[in-house]
Amino acid sequence: MSEVILEFEGVGKSFFGVPVLRDVGLRLQQGHVLGLVGENGAGKSTLMNILGGVIPADSGVIRLEGEAHAPRTPAEASRKGIAFIHQELNLFTNLSIAENLFITTFPKRRVGGIPFLDRRTIREKAKALLAAVDLSVSPDTLVEDLSPGERQLVEIAKALGADARIIIFDEPTTSLTSREAERLFGIIERLRAQSISMIYISHILGDVRRLCDDIVVLRDGRVVGTGAREEFSLEKTISLMVGRSIDQIYPLRATAPGEEPVLEARSVSQRGIVHDVSFVLHRGEVLGISGLMGSGRTELARIIFGLDPIESGEILLNGSPLGRSGPRGRVRRGMAFLTENRREEGLLMDASIADNIGLVSLPAFASSLAKRIDHVRLCNAAEEVAHSVRLQSMGITRQAAKTLSGGNQQKVVLAKWILAKPSAFILDEPTRGVDVGAKQEVYRIIADLAAGGAGILFISSEIEELIGMCDRILVMSGGEIRECIERGDFDRERILRAALRENASA
Partner 1 sequence: MSAIPSPSFWKRVFLSEYLVLYLSVLYFLAAWPLVPGLASGANLRDIFSNMLPLLVVAIGETFVLIAAGIDLSVTSIIALCSVVGASLMTADNRVLGGSVFAVPVGILAMLIVGLLIGAFNGATIAWFNMPPFIVTLATMMFFSGFAIWFTQSNKISNLPSGFTMLGEGALWFVPYALIITVVLALLAHLVLSRTLFGRRVYAIGHNVKAAAISGVPVKRTTLFAYLVSAFCAAVASILYTARLETGDPVLGQKILLDIIGATVIGGTSLFGGKGKVIWTVFGVLFITLIDNSLNMRGLSHFVIMIVKGAVILGAALLDATRNRWLAGT
Partner 2 sequence: MTNTRAKILLPVLENASLILFVGVFSVFAMKSAKFLTIENLINILIQSSSVGIVAIGMTFVLLTAGIDLSVGAIMFLSAAIAGKLILGGCSVGLAFVAIVAIGFLYGALNACFITRLRILPFIVTLATLFAGRGLSLLITQTRAMNLPELVQIGSARIVGIPFPVLVFAAVLIAAHVTLTRTAFGRHVYAVGNDAEAAKKAGINLGRVLFSVYVISGLCAAVGGLVLLSQLGAVSPTFGDKREFAAIAAAVLGGTSLFGGKGKVFPGTVLGAVLIQMVENGLNTVSADPYIYPLVISPIIFLAVFTDSVRHTQLQKLKRRKIRVEVFE
Judged by CB under 8 A, which of 158, 282, 416, 482 binds partner 1?
416
Q: C-beta of 262: minimal distance to partner 2 in Å?
A: 27
379 binds partner 1 (CB under 8 A): no
Beta-strand pair 312-317/335-338: unpaired
Report yes or no: 290 and 499 within 8 Å, Cβ to Cβ: yes
CA distance 504 to 276: 13
Q: If contact means CB under 5 to 8 A according to the sort of partner, which of partner 1, partner 2, none does residue 506 touch?
A: partner 2
Q: How far apart, in whole angstroms, are the C-alpha atoms of residue 475 and residue 453?
A: 24
Close Cβ partners of 79 (under 8 Å, ≥ 6 residues apart)? none
Q: By CB under 8 A, name the one of 29, 173, 202, 295 that touches partner 2.
A: 295
Q: Which does 428 bind (CB under 5 to 8 A by kind): partner 1, partner 2, none?
A: none
Distance CA 466, CA 429 (A): 11
By CB under 8 A, is residue 144 in contact with partner 2?
Answer: yes
Q: Which does 144 bind (CB under 5 to 8 A by kind): partner 2, partner 1, none?
A: partner 2
Q: Measured from the CB of residue 130, what is the shortest distance to partner 1 in angstroms?
A: 36
What CA–CA distance (Å, rounded) separates 133 from 191? 9
Binding mask 440-479 for partner 2 (x = CB under 8 A): --------------------------------------xx
| Integer Cα distance of 456 and 329 in angstroms | 19
Nearest approach in angstroms of CB 217 to partner 1 is: 36
Q: How far, in Å, CA of 261 to CA of 411, rounded?
A: 27
Task: Please identify which residue in 114, 370, 376, 506 interacts with partner 1, judged by CB under 8 A.
Answer: 370
Residue 121 makes contact with partner 2 by CB under 8 A:
no
With binding defined as CB under 8 A, does residue 114 bind partner 2? yes
Determine if 377 is a binding residue for partner 1 (CB under 8 A): no
Measuring CA to CA, which residue among 312, 236, 328, 221 is closest to residue 268?
312
Asked if 87 touches partner 2 (CB under 8 A), the answer is: no
Residue 146 near residue 121 (C-beta atoms within 8 A): no
**Do 4 and 165 meet the contact criterion of CB atoms below 8 Å apart?**
no
Residues 474-503 that bind partner 2 (CB under 8 A): 478-480, 503
Which of these segments, 21-29, 291-299, 327-335, 460-468, binds partner 2 (CB under 8 A)? 291-299
- Contact status, residue 142 vs residue 93, Cβ threshold 8 Å: yes
Question: First and final CA of the chain: distance in angstroms?
Answer: 40
Near partner 2 by CB under 8 A: residue from 15, 106, 185, 490: 106
Q: Are 37 and 237 in contact (CB under 8 A)?
A: yes
* CB of residue 218 to partner 2, shortest distance in Å: 24
Our CA angle for 449, 430, 149, nearest 5°, is 145
8-state DSSP, 137 = S
Q: Which lies closer to partner 1 via its Cβ, residue 164 or residue 454?
A: 454
Grouping H, G, I as helix, E, B as strand and the rest as coil, residue 230 is helix
Closest Cα partner for 346 from 333, 359, 335?
Answer: 359
Q: Is 93 in the site for partner 2 (CB under 8 A)?
A: yes
Which residues touch 493 (CB under 8 Å, ≥6 apart)? 234, 235, 238
Distance CA 240, CA 236 (A): 6
Can residue 94 be called a binding residue for partner 2 (CB under 8 A)? Answer: yes
Whether the CA torsion 303, 304, 309, 315 is positive or negative: it is positive
With CB under 8 A as the contact rule, which of the stretches 124-132, 293-301, 329-337, 429-437 interacts with partner 1? Answer: 329-337
- 139 touching partner 2, by CB under 8 A: no
Total of residues contacting partner 2 (CB under 8 A): 41
Nearer to partner 2, 32 or 86 (CB): 86
* Binder of residue 458, out of partner 1, partner 2, none (CB less than 5 to 8 A by kind): none
Q: At what angle do helices 406-419 and 436-451 cross, to 10 degrees?
A: 10
Classified as helix, coil or strand, 95 is coil
Contact status: 294 vs partner 2 (CB under 8 A): yes
Query: Considering only residues 108, 179, 210, 375, which one is a binding residue for partner 1 as defined by CB under 8 A?
Result: 375
Closer CB to partner 1, 29 or 339, in the complex: 339
195 close to 213: Cβ distance less than 8 angstroms: no
Question: Quick check: 196 binds partner 1 (CB under 8 A)?
Answer: no
Chain positions 222 to 281 lying near partner 2, rule: CB under 8 A, are: 271-275
56 binds partner 2 (CB under 8 A): no
- The answer to the question of residue 95 lying near partner 2 (CB under 8 A) is yes
Residues of this chain, 330-349, that bind partner 1 according to CB under 8 A: 330-332, 337, 339, 344-349
- By the rule CB under 8 A, 370 interacts with partner 2: no
Q: Report which of 442, 466, 325 is spatially closest to residue 475, judged by C-alpha positions.
A: 466
Pairing mode, strands 33-37 and 214-219: parallel
Residues that contact partner 1, how many (by CB under 8 A): 31
Contacts with partner 2 by CB under 8 A lie at 73-75, 78, 90-95, 99, 103-104, 106, 108, 114-117, 119, 144, 148, 175, 177-179, 271-275, 294-296, 299, 478-480, 503, 505-506
Residues that bind partner 1 (CB under 8 A): 305, 307, 327-328, 330-332, 337, 339, 344-351, 355, 358-360, 362-363, 366, 370-373, 375, 400, 416
